[in-house]
Amino acid sequence: MKRIAVLTSGGDAPGMNAAIRAVVRSGYYHGLEVYGVYRGYTGLIQGDIEKMELGTVGDIIHRGGTVLYSSRCEEFKTEAGRQKAVEQLKKHQIDGLVVIGGDGSFQGAKKLTALGFPTIGVPGTIDNDIPATDFTIGFDTAVNTVVECIDKIRDTATSHERTYIVEVMGRDAGDIALWAGLADGAESILIPEAPYQIDEIVERLQRSSERGKKHSIIIVAEGVGSGLDVADKITDRLGWETRVTVLGHVQRGGSPTAFDRVLASRMGAKAVELLLSGQRDMMVAIRNNDVIGIDFDEALSQKHQPRMELYDLAKILSI
């Protein structure tokens, strides 16, 4: 193997740049040439591929987003689109590819390997919804961003003695809501993996109010539904004034935390090692603090589940 390429695909996540840097720098350390593919699979199909040097990835470890840009590419979902991508890789004499992205990007990467092209996935998504790994790059930063926002909301909630409903990202996975909710001492955390009962939420609010608590925070993962709906239900039941904040894309941005930078550095370097050791069809994962490779087949056949013991703990602690 002489020449490898790296791309970022799907939703961007803080720490993707640190992962790109790790692929490039460890690639050169091992005597490889490293190419960057711009705009994910779209750029791969179009041949938007450029050589990266050691200096190309200087001063990016601390930046959010991705210097290679990202995209969602419908054409790559077709056999013809993927054939074009392989032709471009061959034209640029690239022997192996590192795909930094989420589960959708890995579905695409797996199909590239089926065409005989060695590909390694690095999990980069704020959602933490890739089953085979304990953490994905970007998740820790997103949780910290949410916590910082909720701390500010808490200040005003306390001053005005109100109930705040905060809607956070997580269409299919409740991890951001769960971790941020636990870190912030939220009264209730609503996640897609656990159907909620409005009666239980109302009872909790009443219990807190009876013990003299004058403000409450409820976190709703977007996959559960709208924070506004939850707020309306609470107002209907209790007659309390509520406020809703939808955090939105602020959760995707920002400088990656030290945890995400270290995770991305370890994972990017591991992807290069896997390619060099002849692996052709794997994703990188962290399990029990070990960075390892897992076959795409095994990884993609599992279903993601957040750590439900955290959900139970949050309930105990917000009694």
Residue in 3, 30, 72, 304 binding ligand ATP, rule: CB under 6 A: 72
The span from the CA of 285 to the CA of 302, in Å, is 13
- Kindly state whether residue 123 participates in binding ligand ATP, applying the rule CB under 6 A: no
Q: Quick one: tokens of 302?
A: 């599992």
Beta bridge partners of 34: 4, 52
- Kindly state whether residue 307 participates in binding ligand ATP, applying the rule CB under 6 A: no
161 φ, ψ (degrees, to nearest 5): 55, 55
- Kindly state whether residue 192 participates in binding ligand ATP, applying the rule CB under 6 A: no
Contact map string, positions 216 to 255, toward ligand ATP, x by CB under 6 A = ----------------------------------------
The span from the CA of 216 to the CA of 166, in Å, is 11
- Kindly state whether residue 104 participates in binding ligand ATP, applying the rule CB under 6 A: yes
Q: What angle do CA 42, 44, 46 make, to 5 degrees?
A: 70
- Kindly state whether residue 170 participates in binding ligand ATP, applying the rule CB under 6 A: no
DSSP H helices, the chain, are 16-29, 40-46, 79-91, 103-114, 139-160, 175-184, 198-210, 227-238, 258-276, 296-301, 308-317
CB 228 within 8 A of CB 244: yes
Name the segment binding ligand ATP (CB under 6 A); options: 101-109, 207-215, 291-299, 306-314. Answer: 101-109
Name the segment binding ligand ATP (CB under 6 A); options: 90-98, 102-110, 205-213, 300-308. Answer: 102-110
Q: Quick one: tokens of 145?
A: 């961003």
126 labeled binding residue = yes
Residue in 64, 101, 121, 181 binding ligand ATP, rule: CB under 6 A: 101
Residue in 47, 50, 92, 107 binding ligand ATP, rule: CB under 6 A: 107
Sign of torsion over alpha carbons 26, 28, 29, 32: positive
Name the segment binding ligand ATP (CB under 6 A); options: 6-14, 210-218, 257-265, 281-289. Answer: 6-14
Alpha-carbon radius of gyration of the chain: 22
User: Which positions touch ligand ATP (CB under 6 A)?
Assistant: 9-11, 41, 72-73, 76-77, 101-105, 107-108, 111, 125, 127
Binding-site members for ATP are 11, 72-73, 102-105
Binding-site members for substrate are 125-127, 162, 169-171, 222, 243, 249-252
